[in-house]
Chains A and B, each alone.
Chain A
């Protein structure tokens, strides 16, 4: 094993015998563009709504639910697509999320939510994952569009202004603490907990 490694090390270290410097540098540059461009194009392809709803699990459950909400249809016609909220926009975070998504590929292959019943059974767990993620990154995906600094409290209802100017301003709460279930249906919670619900005061 060590001998094998050493042999490769020697090959890599030795100056090229047959290929010109120009070929190696320019060729390497072009190959780099092709590979990197290809990688990024593929990455962005998986970051489109069309890709998300190419699976019936997404198309028939969560996408349908989104359609009646303010994030899909509204007076000004601005809308959020799946990756706007579910994938970080920064490259490193995005790649980290994409690696996590290998679990979703596994789920797709083995059909972990391929029926309505299975999806409903898993809804609470799936929702909790997203709540935890948004809680952990201080509702980053919300804030990509909704900036606290640009909120006009005089244009908000008294109730909204009161909450935003205190809880949100102090960082005691983040968007997802109160705004759960705004884009999809909420999961069913155990009946005895119906009053506490997912509660705005989640830890």
Chain B
């Protein structure tokens, strides 16, 4: 019992030493922070202008909330006012030609459709966000269903 404990102790000490050695040897680097040490404040990159071309982006998968193809700077979205609904509300789209909310936004958690936007779907920017033309900080290897299924079974083209 005593010997086992001693061995374990040695092993642990070795592990700690090895980790420390690695930490000292390799300079700190992180995909999001760059080479700025953890104790320092990195200089943030300049703010980009939000995409504002009103062209709807393709969704990567059917359930993806569509991105917002226009600026929403200073749009008020709080308990009292929802600026998005000024144009995207069911009653407003004829005049504004905006994309209406899908029916799921009117459903409560029991699936029954209500007359007004469901409170759980009220805060648009929880799911829908505008886009900036920036280089992604981390590599994205996401493949949509069509690509993935084609790679899995190349002989049989995926049906759409």
Contact = CB atoms under 8 A, between A and B. Distances in A.
Interface residues of B, number: 24
Contacts of A20: none
A187 interface: yes
B85 to A, nearest CB: 6
Given A69-B74, A157-B70, A158-B54, A187 B80 contact: yes
Given A157-B53, A194-B85, A195-B116, A70 B96 contact: no
A186 B76 contact: yes
Choose among B71, B79, B92, B117 the residue with the greatest number of A CB atoms under 10 Å from its CB.
B92
B109 to A, nearest CB: 19
Contact of A196 (B52, B73, B91): B91
Contacts of B116: 191-192, 194-195
Choose among B54, B74, B86 the residue with the greatest number of A CB atoms under 10 Å from its CB.
B86
Given A69-B74, A157-B71, A182-B74, A195 B91 contact: yes
B89 A196 contact: yes
Given A157-B71, A187-B80, A200 B96 contact: yes
B70 A159 contact: yes
Contact of A181 (B52, B53, B73, B76): B76
Interface string A69-109: 11000000000000000000000000000000000000000
B130 to A, nearest CB: 12
Interface string A162-203: 000000000000000000011001111101101111111100
30 contacts: A69-B74, A70-B74, A157-B53, A157-B54, A157-B71, A159-B54, A159-B70, A181-B76, A181-B83, A185-B81, A186-B83, A188-B79, A189-B80, A192-B116, A194-B82, A194-B85, A194-B116, A194-B117, A195-B85, A195-B90, A195-B117, A196-B89, A196-B92, A197-B85, A197-B92, A199-B86, A199-B92, A200-B92, A200-B95, A200-B96
